[in-house]
Structure 1
Amino acid sequence: MQTLRAEALTKTYGEKTLFKDLDFIINEQDRIGLIGTNGSGKSSLLNVLSQEDIDSTGGIVTSKTYTIGYLKQQPELNEDLTILEAVFAGSQDVFNTIRRYEQTLENYSNHPDDPKAERQYLDAEAKMNEEDAWNAESDVKTILTQLKIDDVNQVVSTLSGGQKRRVGLAQVLIQSPDLLILDEPTNHLDFDSIEWLQEYLAKYKGALLFVTHDRYFLDQIANKIWELSFGELFEYTGNYQDYLAQKAERVDLEVAAEHKKQKLYKQELAWMKKGAKARTTKQQARINRFNDLKENVGNLQTEEDVDINLGQQRLGKKVIEIEDASLNLNNKIILSHFSELIQRNERIGISGENGAGKSSLLNVIADKLPLDSGTIEIGETVKMAYYTQQTEPIPDDKRVINYLTDVGEHVTDNTGNKISVTDLLEQFLFPKFMHGTLIRKLSGGEKRRLYLLKLLMQQPNVLLLDEPTNDLDISTLTVLEDYIAHFSGTVITVSHDRYFLDKVASRLLIFNGNGKIESYVGLFTDYLRKSADTQKVEKKKNHEQHLTEKKQEKDTSEGKAKKKLTYAEEIEYNDLEKEIDELDGQISELKEEMTHLGNDYDKLADTQVKIDELTRQSDEKIARWEYLSEYVE
């Protein structure tokens, strides 16, 4: 069994200790979700494990053949290569093997009479066979297709940031390392790609360590949760739901133990104040215990919830009205005669295909992008805040508290009480010692949290959120969800995060590309389920149509060599459709069962074997039914 063992890992960043003396083991088939607040050191721990960070202390023990693949939040790709070349540009053995084979093949083609060139080519061909590298290019194309990248010859420099992340994801997936490390793998993926990635990782043979904000993804993939908090690593068994229950129990026990410790400290302090002297060995031991207790009491650190309790201005009846809007960008239709009435207190979620224009619609609403035609009217009482995917430029030498005092020294909460900037910062998990910190010392997630706080300090009554889950930690998202639930204004959110959209949106606009926008009332997961059912019906309809056309074509071109079915074949034909439906029903039930098996990989494997066998039987019966159907009168 391939394992990775960490011993006393420690990482400091300036004056801050991110983690200290961490010991753990990662085994094969571990599916570890790493969570923690922004700035707690999650990405730093990933960098240390992948040996990208050499400034940490401690040790990592693996076998000499142990391999690690790492998807960073910002993949490092050669901008001059094509997508396919960039994917194969890694240093992994399989990539080296493919490149060597291509080089020797070209040399041998140019010098077919050279024995040395022939020998090198044959050696390279044998290596391709040995490592099963022939399917690598085909596998890459399959992965890229599932990640919605179709033109593998496109140059990397022409890709968007989201497309580059998907290319980076394809690169690490094709490596099939012993340990696959993924930092926010669902960022910039639409729901079809996320669904595919879930299925891919569920079957992955190696170990997986990943950071994600997607709580549905955590529930589906993780069999362990690691929480990085105040420099310590807490390990939990199970998925995200299991973690929530186990963490609550752990915190309750720690709080109870701290309360007991403080009670004992008060008793011992009273004894010491009486003038206790070390006249006996027992008294000296008690004094020593008091000194130890004094050092440890009051040191319990727990993560407080981020509390967003801000008021907002009254919102009138008229909010946003879009009439007959059309917009083209880069020869692509974004909006086509689009009309929409957005009312007070609405919760609208926007999702759909990447590049279809979701963010562009927010830019139109925020008056950052003009329409080609049509109108958009904003109500007079609207006070809008727009949380964009890119944080506004912040001077690195500006201090945290000064960034907020540019908005004001204080704000009012929803009961009319004043809240100081200092109190707001503490509520947003910026302790007092960080208030004077230079912004350049903050992590990327901390900067995003600070940016969100500044927007909410403006006390808007219309909130535009563009992919907020991409950079905020789960605890901040949880409180943002609660804030939106109690927000007496209108919220419009662009996201692919199923959990987040289920919590914050009651109406959906689904961008299907080419200006086609579908409206749906209800939860996002209900929409996805309904959409999947519709696709299944459409697929069956297309299959039946194909069979009909095939039968008509055969009748026209060849006639019927076989005139009609025998009596036994008629009975078989009549039973086959029912048998196929029963098999498909069993397959659907087993697939549904798999979604509830969590981390029981033995049962998952057994269930997959059953599904494969039932699928084989169904395919055979469908083939037989297709054959017999050609002779039904």
Structure 2
Amino acid sequence: MVPYLQIDGLTKSFGDLVLFNQISLGVAEGQRIGLIAKNGSGKTTLLNIIAGKEGYDEGSIVFRRDLCVGYLEQDPHYPEELTVLEACFHHGNTTVQLIKEYERCMETEGNPGMEDLLARMEHEKAWDYERKAKQILSQLKIRDFNQQVKHLSGGQLKRVALANVLITEPDFLILDEPTNHLDLDMTEWLEDYLRRGNISLLMVTHDRYFLDRVCSEIIEIDNKQVYSYKGNYSYYLEKRQERIEATNAEIARANNLYRTELEWMRRMPQARGHKARYREEAFYELEKVAKQRFNDGNVKLEMKASYIGSKIFEADHLYKSFGDLKILDDFSYIFARYEKMGIVGNNGTGKSTFIKILMGEQKPDSGTIDIGETVRFGYYSQDGLRFDEQMKVIDVVQDIAEVIELGNGKRLTASQFLQHFLFTPETQHSYVYKLSGGERRRLYLCTVLMRNPNFLVLDEPTNDLDIITLQVLEEYLQNFKGCVIVVSHDRYFMDKVVDHLLVFKGQGDIRDFPGNYSDYRDWREVKEQREKEAEKPKEEKTARVRLNDKRRMTFKERKEYERLEKEIGELEQEKADIESALCSGTLSVEELTEKSKRLPELNDLIDEKSMRWLELSEIEG
């Protein structure tokens, strides 16, 4: 395999905090690598360093010469005055530069260098660039190409940036959380897109199905070091557990030997020979291993939920719309005790609005919601992440409660509770402004759960959370003695947590599905296939007879067929205009000569293109 990127001895620290120390890794042509680590371990920092947007302390980063690299940042930025389509041309690449060069040439008198430019445009397929941009933007459900960037939401801007990266078709893609702000359809489209062809990829994502289906290798940053696993996410889980068990066994063996050597060290006289000095040096190395504190992230959070009565909430004939957009249309529902509901649907179908109506943040146009007296909500919202930047992490939690009741007489101090959510004692006494985006999300989740709610409403809780935190949260929700509503685009998370789904299909059409997301997806695929078969049984039968097993057009041939139809029409119109002009008797000698020369050229072109059009139409049948 051709090496694309080689990193050797890379070290990065912020003051006393060392993110990674002397790490080495490589990416070769065709490799699709997923990068996994706890929040705060430096995933985004590493990607920024590789992309040249951030410095490092020591080490080397070497790319293959002339490699085209595309980087999707976690929080992309564009000049506000650009339109969506202009933003897709904003970050320079060879094709965009070529298009700009062509436009300058067209504006220059005499069009110097036009022939060379046309040849390069053809070679780079630059003519298709705008069409391809619009196609990918449409797949990501951005359809107003003239909308200014400043009017886009954060999620829309991330999707524009994703389109920007994909359009350029780089040799090597670096993606930081590409599935954030994508609905389920978009995520599955991106999954298929990245699995096609020989794409080389280094990616950070918390979407485990996405990792499993797209990546062929997993790299983990743990305890400032890098571990590589040659397989997908499922393989990584298996091998990581083996590594943890092997490390724990090594620490246990070192501890047993350490006790023996410690006794020898205490008994040995100060005047030691050469062998004794060698054994003493070996003792200090052994001490380092024995005193390791290996944290595998395998924590379990058990918390007491407040008592919840039989009456939870009842929605009765709810209506809600914004202009022509219907969110709820005569919606009624009675929520059961201990019910765990997932809410899915495309962006813009009203999932978050429904949650806000339930939480009393928005009013329905009509209808009522009756909430039981014992219900205590815990609400994790998309925009609820607000902290005093100058507070310490431990103070944020202690301001809510010094001690958290777990039930059965068990209690946790604020510090112990934070450790359950993977905040080390050092991080607990650090300031909020020093936390990474994922660590802030994790802290916000702590502040929601520690109030002992009995009804959890979680709106996109998986965005920016690392996989280890998600595993802790999943186990907690599976054992939670209360009610849960989850809005999420994370398919793995939904499969683990919910009993059934509310599917928002748009314009107030809401369906209840008895199963998790994978069940729903399988059911939907079978249903769509049956509908297709039911729609055109006669058509297919006729087609088989008529085609006599001939092949269908490829995508490229279909585009050529459509283009030829247009070109033949234009050429025939030009021919008719010339013939009309030649008969008018108004042309000068020069014009007459020029048009007389053009006429046979047109006839040849029309014949040539018509023959090709007929060939393609034969394939189409």
**In 1, Cα distance between the equivalents of 2:159 and 2:323?**
21
- Match status 1:403 vs 2:403: no
Equivalent residue number for residue 555 of structure 1: none
How far did residue 547 of structure 1 move? 8.0
Aligned-partner SS, 2:321: strand
Q: Does 1:329 align with 2:330?
A: no
Paired residues for 1:453-492 under 5 Å: 453-492=446-485
CA deviation profile, 1:127-146 (whole Å, cap 9, x unmatched): 21122222222221221121
SS of corresponding position for 1:323: strand
Would you say 1:301 and 2:294 are equivalent positions?
Answer: yes
Match in the other structure for 1:380: 373
Return the alpha-carbon distance in structure 2 between the equivalents of residues 574 and 137 of structure 1. Answer: 37
TM-score by length of 1: 0.83
Number of residue pairs matched? Answer: 555
Q: Which residue identity does 1:206 align to in structure 2?
A: I
1:368-396 alpha-carbon deviations (Å, 9 max, x no partner): 11111111111111000110112332111
- Which residue identity lines up with residue 164 of structure 1 in the other structure? L
User: What secondary structure sits across from 2:13 in the alignment?
Assistant: strand
In structure 2, distance between residues paired with 1:178 and 1:277: 63
Q: How does 1:354-373 map to 2 (within 5 A)?
A: 354-373=347-366
**Is 1:133 equivalent to 2:134 in the alignment?**
no
Code of the aligned partner of 2:102: Y
- In the alignment, the residues of structure 2 paired with residue 517 and residue 576 of structure 1 have an alpha-carbon distance, to the nearest angstrom, of 44
Residue pairs, 1:40-55, within 5 angstroms: 40-55=41-56
Contact 1:278 1:284 in 2 (8 A): no
| Contact 1:463 1:491 (C-alpha < 8 Å) held by counterparts | yes
Unpaired runs of 5+ in structure 1? 109-113, 552-568, 581-622, 628-633
Instruction: String of CA shifts for 1:193-248, please: whole Å, max 9, x gaps.
Output: 11111111112423101111111111101111111112111111101110011011
Q: Specify the alignment match of 1:164 in structure 2.
A: 157
C-alpha change, 1:30 and 1:190, in structure 2 (3 Å) is: same
TM-aligned CA deviation for residue 435 of structure 1? 2.2
Q: Residue 102 and residue 333 in structure 1: after superposition, are their counterparts in 2 closer, same or farther (change >3 A)?
A: farther
Question: Using a 3 Å threshold, how does the CA distance of structure 1 residues 153 and 415 change in structure 2: closer, same or farther?
Answer: same
**1:541 to partner: Cα distance:** 3.9
SS of the residue aligned with 1:433?
A: helix
Q: Please list the CA deviations of residues 306-345 of structure 1 after superposition, one character each: whole Å capped at 9, or x if unmatched.
A: 4321111110111111111111236421111111111110
| 8 A Cα contact 1:277 1:283, kept in partner | no
Amino acid across the alignment from 1:99: K
The separation in 2 between residues aligned to 1:330 and 1:308, in whole angstroms, is: 44
Tell which deviates more after alignment, 531-540 or 29-38. 531-540
1:22 maps to amino acid:
I
Report the alpha carbon displacement of residue 120 of structure 1 after superposing the two structures with TM. 3.8
1:590 matched residue in structure 2: none
**Partner residue in 1 for 2:4:** 3
1:62-101 matches, within 5 Å, as: 62-101=63-102
Structure-2 change in CA distance of 1:133 and 1:515 (3 Å):
same
Contact kept? 1:48, 1:56, Cα under 8 Å: no
The one of 256, 267, 284 equivalent to 2:260 is 267
The alpha carbon displacement at 1:270 in A equals 1.1
Residue number in structure 2 paired with 1:34 = 35
SS of structure 2 residue aligned to 1:37: coil
Q: Once the two structures are superposed, what CA deviation does each residue of 1:278-314 show, in whole Å capped at 9, x if it has no partner?
A: 4432222222222332344312433332432111111
Task: Return the offset for 1:543.
Answer: 4.2
Question: By how many angstroms is 1:126 displaced?
Answer: 2.3
Shift of 1:153: 2.0
- Pairwise CA distance, 1:93: 0.9
| Letter matched to residue 301 of structure 1 | F
| 1:547 to 1:300, Cα distance in 2 relative to 1, 3 A | closer
**What code does the residue aligned with 1:375 have?**
T
CA contact (8 A) 1:576 1:625 kept: no
| 8 A Cα contact 1:410 1:419, kept in partner | yes
Counting only pairs closer than 5 Å after superposition, residues 100-499 of structure 1 correspond to structure 2 as: 100-105=101-106, 107=107, 114-115=109-110, 118-329=111-322, 331-499=324-492
Kept after mapping to 1: 8 A contact 2:380/2:458: yes
Cα deviation digits, residues 65-108 of structure 1 (max 9, x gap): 01221111211222211111110111111111122223333x15
Q: Name the CA shift for 1:516/1:165 in 2 (closer, same or farther; >3 Å).
A: same
Closer, same or farther: CA 541–122 of 1 in aligned 2, 3 Å: farther
Q: Which has the larger radius of gyration?
A: 2
Conserved 8 A contact 1:2-1:178: no
**CA–CA distance in structure 2, aligned partners of residues 37 and 391 of structure 1:** 22
Other structure's SS at 2:112 match: helix
Q: Which is further off, 13-22 or 447-456?
A: 13-22
Change (3 A) 1:473 1:624: same
Tell me: CA distance 1:169–1:575, structure 2 relative to 1, closer, same or farther (3 Å).
Answer: closer
Q: Which runs of 5+ in 2 are unaligned?
A: 552-616
Do the aligned partners of 1:391 and 1:448 also contact (CA within 8 Å) in 2? no
Q: What is the 5 A alignment of 1:10-29? A: 10-29=11-30
Answer whether contact 2:342 2:502 (CA < 8 A) is retained.
Answer: yes
2:105 and 2:112 in contact (8 A); partners too: no
In 2, Cα distance between equivalents of 1:196 and 1:293: 52
What fraction of aligned residue pairs are identical, expressed as a percent?
A: 40
Which residue in the other structure is 2:531 paired with?
538
1:529 Cα deviation (Å)? 1.6
Change (3 A) 1:330 1:56: farther
Moved more, 285-294 or 421-430: 285-294
Which letter maps to 1:464? V
What does the per-residue CA deviation read over 1:395-450, in whole Å, with 9 as the maximum and x for residues that have no partner? 11011111111211111113231211111111211121222211111111111111
Counterpart amino acid of residue 241 in structure 2: A
Give yes or no for contact 1:411–1:420 (8 Å, CA) kept in 2.
yes
CA distance in 2, matches of 1:77, 1:465: 31
In structure 2, how many angstroms separate the alpha carbons of the residues matched to 1:44 and 1:401?
A: 25
- TM-align CA RMSD: 2.4
- One-letter identity of the residue aligned with 1:467: E
In the alignment, is the contact (CA less than 8 A) between 2:47 and 2:174 conserved in 1?
A: yes
Q: Which residue of 2 aligns with 1:605?
A: none
Corresponding residue SS for 1:377? strand
Shift of 1:528: 1.1
What code does the residue aligned with 2:308 have? L
What is the TM-score with the length of structure 2 in the denominator?
Answer: 0.85
Equivalent-residue separation in structure 2 for 1:248 and 1:392 (angstroms):
33
